[in-house]
Amino acid sequence: MGSLRRLALALALILGSADADADATPEAPPPASPAVELTLPFDGIWGVVQGFDSGGTHHGYAAFALDFAPPQDVAQFARLAHPRLQDFACWGRPVLAPADGRVVRVATSFRDLPPYARAPRKSGGGNFVIVQHAPDLYSELVHLQAGSVRVAVGQNVRRGDVIGACGNSGNARTPHLHLGLLSSIAPITTTRARLSRYDVRGADGKWKRGDGEPKEGEWVRPAAR
């Protein structure tokens, strides 16, 4: 896999700026563990491309959201004059439900755009699934691959169920997974919430338990069961 730190820097350059529109006011209480434990919505090692209220595209509507993508073979990628979607490590990777819940919103009509293409107006985050985990806690999984969504509104899901695949729909620019944390869907309101049961790779290469709030530039993975 090579140097994860080097790959993290390169990954940020590859992804650039992308995500949902800033059109709602986020809540900003201190981070607190929700009644339901939320876990990472993927298996394996992924990098945190954007964290909470990052000043990039994570503000307003997307203030309390996280962008993830797996390590990329930078040397191989750099040789590609015109990268294809399948050249990105995130493309097609399974996206998992972060906790038990009920599917309350789904969008499936958006196509995957070529890498770096600008999305048409009103395409928003493209294909997505919103799962309600508690009365005031929802997860929003965004930029899903066209044709990959496996769930429907009203369906109950369990933690770890595959709900779709990482894609490049909406305003993603390049394949990555956008995880939004919400306290309301009418109107959409983001909220600060902790994630559980995950590890972070330290500068010394050792893995330690995460503090509940993955941060930009970190490498994270689900904790061993």
pLDDT tens-digit series, residues 129-157: 999 999 999 999 999 999 999 999 999 99
User: Stretch 194-207: mean pLDDT, rounded?
Assistant: 96
Domain with 59 in it = 4-222
| Cα–Cα distance measured from residue 113 to residue 43, given in angstroms and rounded to the nearest whole number | 25
Note the pLDDT tens digit of each residue in 91-126.
999 999 999 999 999 999 999 999 999 888 777 889
CATH of the domain at 14: 2.70.70.10
pLDDT at 204 over 70: yes
Per-residue model confidence (pLDDT) at position 169: 97
Q: Distance (Å, rounded) from C-alpha 67 to C-alpha 95?
A: 13
CA 1, distance to chain mean position in Å, is: 21
CA 41 to chain centre: 8
Number of domains in the chain: 1
What pLDDT, on the 0 to 100 scale, is given for residue 75? 76
Which whole-number Å values give the CA distances from 2 to 30, 202, 207, in the listed order?
Answer: 36, 15, 16
Number of alpha carbons in the 13 Å side-chain half-sphere of residue 206: 3
